[in-house]
């Protein structure tokens, strides 16, 4: 499985008068052989998620570079057939 992207999110759960905020790193993975995609929602400490957010220059999304995906031979073959390499 290859990391496609990661998105930092804050989910709010309202129960009656109480609101709970969860800081989540959503990691999306894709199988280079069959193109199956899955996502893991990983809750973490707000401070840690904010640190990652700052390292992304204030953005919420991170995409690995194409050269990172091309380390997998199946992904590399697909990228080449699509003209990306
Ligand atoms: Zn697969």
User: In this structure, what are the phi and psi dihedrals at residue 81, rounded to the nearest 5 degrees?
Assistant: -70, -20
Q: How is residue 8 written in tokens?
A: 């930092």
- Confidence bin at 30 (pLDDT 50/70/90): very high
User: In this structure, what are the phi and psi dihedrals at residue 55, rounded to the nearest 5 degrees?
Assistant: -65, -20
Range list of H helices, the chain: 46-55, 66-69, 73-81
Q: How is residue 73 written in tokens?
A: 């031979």
Whole-structure pTM value: 0.79
pLDDT per position as a tens digit, 12-26 = 889 999 998 999 999
> What pLDDT is attached to residue 85?
87
Distance 80 CA to ligand 1 centre (A): 19
pLDDT per position as a tens digit, 45-71 = 999 999 999 999 999 999 999 999 999
Distance 56 CA to ligand 1 centre (A): 29
Q: Range of 22's domain? A: 2-81
15 strand-pairing partners: 18
Question: What's the structural domain count of the chain?
Answer: 1
Distance 45 CA to ligand 1 centre (A): 32
> What pLDDT is attached to residue 31?
95
CA distances to 8, 10, 61, 83, 85 from 56, in Å: 10, 16, 8, 28, 26
């Amino acid at each position: 499985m290859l990391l496609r992207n990661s998105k930092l999110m804050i989910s709010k759960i309202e129960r009656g008068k109480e609101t709970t905020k969860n800081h989540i790193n959503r990691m999306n993975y894709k199988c280079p052989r069959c193109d199956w995609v899955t996502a893991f929602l990983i809750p973490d400490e707000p401070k840690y998620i904010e640190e990652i957010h700052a390292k992304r220059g204030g953005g919420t999304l991170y995409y690995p570079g194409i050269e990172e995906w091309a380390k997998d031979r199946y992904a590399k073959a697909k990228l080449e057939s699509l003209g990306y390499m």
